[in-house]
Structure 1
Amino acid sequence: MKYLELAIPPLPSLLTVGHAVWLPGNCHFKRSFDVYDVILVKRGAMYMQEDGTEYAVNGGQLLVLEPGKTHAGSAPCTEETEVYWVHFKHPKALRSLDAAEIPWSAVLPQGHDSDTSPSDQTMYLPKYGDVPIGRLQPLLNQMVQMHMQLSVEHSLQLQTLFCELLKALQTEAKARPGSRASELARETVSYLQKHWTQPFHSKNMEESLHFQFDHLTRCMKKYTGMTPLQYVQYLRISHAVTLLEQTTLSVQEIAERVGIPSVSYFGRLFRERIGISPGQYRNQRQYQL
């Protein structure tokens, strides 16, 4: 199944949600507008086309029509068809990719209380295929009912339910079997998260994960953007930032706590990632507080 990669923030914004039963002979009209149109078929079948590509959306399937593309019914319904639709506003997808290629282990910057803007992140939405309509239906019914009786009191709750729907659809993507390389990247990340305070030894990784270090490195680089050593250094410096902000430990003590006994090497790594020395960072944070 193909998935659309959407940049967040901002989060997608719900515009409308609805439910209907289409009779035989009904056919979707032609249009092109600047929103996403999510069609979920509970039973029956809808026949759609988007920029010339045809889709038969059967019961238990979903189709996401993208903004700026022209879509229309490619044929009328041949049987009674029960449909939910969700329209939402969001920038165009960054790309389309297979479920196995989604970089679940990609490392994202950790936010700090000095940040003034969020880091770039991504979410994933199925383009076309099977979805668990039975499990989604209670949520969809709640959204439809709330939309029909919408008030200021419930507007935020409706947007929250929409995010729950997006989360459920993404969870389905994560549950699908990934490539062996992506799974190995996740196993490597998990190993490093458990052992980052210990001295870094490639042989220990090979013995625990049963793959050569070069292969582990290639897989992790592809799906996280970092080598194993770079990821360990990332974890160490991230933890050091927290200790500088929340404790009075000396720089030497912090370096030792995060697994870097050489304070000069720790200082160099910290400057490379943060841009200033540990002492300068602590002084700036104390001044800001």
Structure 2
Amino acid sequence: MECLELAIPPLPSLVTVGHAMWVPGNCHFERSFDVYDVIFVKSGAMYMREDRVEYAIGGGQMLVLEPGKTHAGSAPCTEETEVYWVHFKHPAALRKLDAKEIPWSAVLPQGRDSDTRPADQTMYLPKHGDIPFGKLLPVLGQMVKLNAQLSVEHSLQLQTLFCELLETLQTEAKARQASRSSALAKETVLYLQNQWSEPFHSKSMEEALHFQFDHITRCMKKHTGMTPLQYVHHLRISHAVTLLAQTTLSVQEIAERVGIPNASFFGRLFRERMGITPGQYRIQRQRHL
């Protein structure tokens, strides 16, 4: 399944949502505007063209028409067709890629109390194809209802439902990826999350996951951006950050608790991840309390 990669934050902003029954002979008019137009077909079929690419949207399918491109009906409906549509505002997609290529397990930077802006992230939206209409219909129906009688009281609820819709679509795209390497990367992540405080041994990983360590490493690097050892260091430093903020333990004691007894090596890993030393982080944290 091809997906659009969208930069967040900010989250996409809902413009409008609607529902209609199209009769045979109806055909979408031609236009080009600067919002995304997402078409959901519950039953029947619609025929659309985006620039020079033609799409057939059958029952239980969707299509995302992108801002700045010209879209129009490529043929009239030949049967009664039930349609929902959603318009939302957001910058153009960063790129298109197959769901199997999306690094779902990639580690993202965690927000810190000293940060003044959110870290760059991404979300994914299926471009065209089958969707779990049974899951989407209650959300779409409620969105249409709220939009028809919109008030200040319900505007935030409408935007929240829109985000729920986007999350469901992304979850569906993720479910479509059947890559063996991504499955192994996910299994490795779970294993390491349970074993991060234990000494790191490649042989133990091979025995637990039933793959050679080199293959495990390639899969982890592809789908998370980290090797298994780098991911363990990531988990250990994350726990160290919590201990520095919430306890009075010395840096050496914290290093030992998170499985890095060499204080010098611990300090180097901490600085690489956090940009400052453990001591500087603790002082900075105390100043913000």
What is aligned with 2:146? 146
Q: Could you tell me the TM-score, scaled by structure 1's length?
A: 0.97
What is aligned with 1:98? 98
Q: What SS does the aligned partner of 1:236 have?
A: helix
CA distance in 1, matches of 2:68, 2:197: 49
What is aligned with 1:230? 230
Gaps of 5+ in 1: none
What is aligned with 1:249? 249
Q: Could you tell me the TM-score, scaled by structure 2's length?
A: 0.97
Shift in Å, 1:177: 4.1
Contact 1:101 1:178 in 2 (8 A): no
Shift in Å, 1:3: 1.1
CA distance in 2, matches of 1:240, 1:176: 36
What is aligned with 2:118? 118
What is aligned with 2:181? 181
What is aligned with 2:159? 159
After superposition, where does 1:9-28 map in structure 2 within 5 Å? 9-28=9-28
Backbone CA RMSD of aligned residues:
1.1
Gaps of 5+ in 2: none
After superposition, where does 1:187-206 map in structure 2 within 5 Å? 187-206=187-206
What does the per-residue CA deviation read over 1:207-255, in whole Å, with 9 as the maximum and x for residues that have no partner?
1111111111111111111111111111111111111111111111110
What does the per-residue CA deviation read over 1:151-196, in whole Å, with 9 as the maximum and x for residues that have no partner?
1110000000101111111111222242111111111111111111
CA distance in 1, matches of 2:64, 2:9: 20
CA distance in 2, matches of 1:208, 1:45: 49
What percent identity do the matched residue pairs reach?
80
Shift in Å, 1:259: 0.6
What does the per-residue CA deviation read over 1:42-66, in whole Å, with 9 as the maximum and x for residues that have no partner?
1111000111111110111100101
Shift in Å, 1:144: 0.4
* Residue 35 (str. 1) matches residue 35 (str. 2): yes
What is aligned with 1:72? 72
Corresponding pairs, count: 289
Q: What SS does the aligned partner of 2:78 have?
A: coil
Contact 1:15 1:87 in 2 (8 A): yes
Q: What SS does the aligned partner of 1:3 have?
A: strand
What is aligned with 2:284? 284
Structure 1 stretches of 4+ moved >6 Å: none
What does the per-residue CA deviation read over 1:104-132, in whole Å, with 9 as the maximum and x for residues that have no partner?
11001111222211111111111101112
What is aligned with 2:81? 81
Code of the aligned partner of 1:169: L
CA distance in 2, matches of 1:107, 1:268: 20
